[in-house]
Amino acid sequence: MTGLAARGIAVHFEGLTALEAVDLSLEPGRILGLIGPNGAGKTTLLNVLSGFQKPAEGSVTLNGREMTNWAPHKIARHGVARTFQAVRLFSGLSVLENVQIGAAGVGPGLASAGRHARDVAARLGLEARLDMRAGSLPYGEERRVGIARALAMRPKYLMLDEPAAGLNDDELQALLDILKGLPADFDCGLLVVEHNMRLIMALCDRIQVLDQGRTLAEGTPDTIRHDREVRKAYLGTAADPAAGANQGISPAPC
């Protein structure tokens, strides 16, 4: 079996159910969008997949190998990397040093890590920023450095938690252009948690919708776009979320 998979995931916090019987699968080279209203359980599911949250029930496998109780650093070394909603850069270090930390974290020597970090940063459009302090960058470029740092870990599966948060229209389009090419350029599967429907609909091969800790729907962007229950849960109306996004109207945050 190939791919990153979760089966029957349940997570409870002090009697509250964050996730209940959730399945998820991500195949190599594919892009999966994970959407839903506030409190749907999206980031909790990412935390389970990356080892930061242990599920009460269920399992996580990587290419058929059980990794449910692995520590985050072990999961990362086996090819699953992620970003966080907060970028969490080392603001006093250069852009190159920030990306190099990701490369060095999975084992290569410093010289090899430096070369790889430069290559990854260039692919993210950061070649002119390598010597700048990360803390001096515009917000949109900070988010790209965070993605580059995760990519420098040579993941087979990369998970991005709200990569478009706070971006203007030009920055959003630049990010979309970058993300579209990542599976082919880096030979990885991509899981994107995002509330910007314009990005999700244009980027993803498949979309999974969570609502109140359960999977509400799953399918192609066109299927999700026209699903009445998804529109009701996500927007609170029967309106078409893609149409709203195309007009610059943001759906409810998730």
DSSP string covering 150-202 = HHTT--SEEEEESTTTT--HHHHHHHHHHHHHHHHHHT-EEEEE-S-HHHHHH
55 close to 49: Cβ distance less than 8 angstroms: no
Q: Which comes out higher in pLDDT, residue 198 or 241?
A: 198
Per-residue pLDDT of 126-135, as tens digits, reads: 999 999 999 9
pLDDT at 114 (0 to 100): 86
With residues binned 3-state (H G I as helix, E B as strand, rest as coil), the percentages for the chain, rounded to 5, are 40, 25, 35
* pLDDT range class, residue 248, cuts 50, 70, 90: very low
- Alpha carbon 116 to its chain centroid, in Å, reads 21
Least confident of 13-22, 47-56, 94-103, 228-237: 228-237
Spell out where the chain has E strands.
4-13, 16-26, 31-35, 57-62, 65-66, 80-82, 157-161, 189-193, 206-211, 214-219
* pTM of the complete model beyond 0.95: no
Q: Work out the average pLDDT over 176-193.
A: 95
Amino acid 131: pLDDT: 95
pLDDT for 122: 93
